[in-house]
Amino acid sequence: MKILVTGGTGFIGSHTVVELQDKGFEVVIVDNLSNSIFEVLDKITTISGKRPLFENFNLVDPAATADFFNRHSDLKAVIHFAAFKAVGESVQFPLLYYRNNIGSLVNILQGMTDHAITDIVFSSSCTVYGQPDQLPVKEDAPIQKANSPYGNTKQISEEIITDLSNSANIRAILLRYFNPIGAHESALIGELPLGVPNNLMPYITQTAIGKREFLRVWGNDYNTPDGTPIRDYIHVVDLAKAHVVAMERMIGNKMKKNVEMFNLATGNGSSVMEVIQSFERTSGLKLDYRILERRLGDIEKVWADTTFANEELGWKAERTLDDMTRSAWNWEKALANK
């Protein structure tokens, strides 16, 4: 069973390729390495004992994408990760995000319909919910106006896929990630932010390893128990395993609707301070952090109702916050030893 994984050398993509290959899928990765490195392929091979097929081209290029599908018409399904995902950058360069995130999706869907490939698993995000009115947030919660072009590309992508499924033979499972953190237990793959990390976990581990002077905590005056914002952090390996379960659901014709969406989260909210405390517990280190002003665009608190994913998809996150911070730290130390 040959699966296209776009963005497969990226953080979530690479962990998913490992799980897919462990389950016997044949994987072809398309990635233009704009936010990842070629060496990840060697690491995937070391972990799973199989080297995925790999092609490096830009999915925004319609001709190159069409040519790819012509050469791989034996593809059975697609998992689409490839996208830009930095919220702040998307505000600065909206056209870059619309062209890349929407353009690549349209080209992939065109290739699928041209070759009667019906199944796609799409990497969506809890950003579609904005600041939910009700917590925990369920899949049928109202979609709020996106607070960044990045978040808007995820909403528009979900709409494009849904519209296409109403007019063509396309089935889709939209996976709405909450906050993926951590790394594979081998410490051979993990989050590899190029430049200064936007996200909390890599900034914590880079501070602890000495690459950053201190962690800036963006505000502790929120309406939460310790004043810092709350998120639903999920281990990247739990997230990767959910993609295999979703793929098997489609292939096994177990879907109840042509388009299904699932929250991928733990159902537990953790504050920034709780993540810091978990990191200090699992690393045995004291983290240098300073409380600063709020970051523009941050929402106060979000965590998921995971009942639908647990009961309908048949998947449940198993790893704890300590598993996440411990694996993130092991990965950062492995990077430093390279």
Options 40-48, 184-192, 213-221, 277-285: segment touching ligand WQD (CB under 6 A): 213-221
In three-state form (DSSP H/G/I as H, E/B as E, the rest C), the secondary structure along 41-94 is HHHHHHHHCCCCEEECCCCCCHHHHHHHHHHCCCEEEEEECCCCCCHHHHHHCH
Q: Which of 203, 262, 315, 329 binds ligand WQD (CB under 6 A)?
A: 203
Options 1-9, 99-107, 199-207, 257-265: segment touching ligand WQD (CB under 6 A): 199-207
Between residues 170 and 240, which has the closer beta carbon with respect to ligand WQD? 240
Angle at 35 between CA 236 and CA 70, to 5 degrees: 95
Residue 179 binds ligand WQD (CB under 6 A): yes
DSSP codes of every residue in 229-266? -EE-EEEHHHHHHHHHHHHHHHHTT--SSSEEEEEES-
Between residues 147 and 186, which has the closer beta carbon with respect to ligand WQD? 147
d(CA 269, CA 276): 14
d(CA 183, CA 186): 8
d(CA 234, CA 221): 24
Catalytic residue selected from 150, 177, 222, 233: 150
Residue 87 binds ligand WQD (CB under 6 A): yes
CB contact at 8 A, 2 and 26: yes
Between residues 28 and 82, which has the closer beta carbon with respect to ligand WQD? 82
Token pair, residue 37, equals: 């490195």
Between residues 218 and 308, which has the closer beta carbon with respect to ligand WQD? 218
Helix (H) or strand (E) holding 120: strand 119-125
DSSP state of 301: B
Between residues 117 and 272, which has the closer beta carbon with respect to ligand WQD? 272
Q: Which of 45, 144, 199, 224 binds ligand WQD (CB under 6 A)?
A: 199
- Is 98 tagged catalytic? no
Residue 200 binds ligand WQD (CB under 6 A): yes
Largest CA distance in the chain: 56
CB contact at 8 A, 331 and 187: yes
Nearest distance from C-beta of residue 50 to ligand WQD, angstroms: 28
Within 220-279, the residues that bind ligand WQD by CB under 6 A are 229, 231, 272
> How many residues bind to ligand WQD according to rule CB under 6 A?
18
Nearest distance from C-beta of residue 18 to ligand WQD, angstroms: 20
Residue 127 binds ligand WQD (CB under 6 A): yes
d(CA 121, CA 161): 10
Nearest distance from C-beta of residue 208 to ligand WQD, angstroms: 13
Q: Which of 72, 76, 99, 216 binds ligand WQD (CB under 6 A)?
A: 216
Residue 124 binds ligand WQD (CB under 6 A): no
Mode of pairing for the β-strands spanning 270-271 and 230-231: antiparallel
Per CB under 6 A, residues contacting ligand WQD are 85, 87, 125, 127, 179, 198-200, 203, 215-218, 229, 231, 272, 295, 298
**What residues act catalytically?**
150
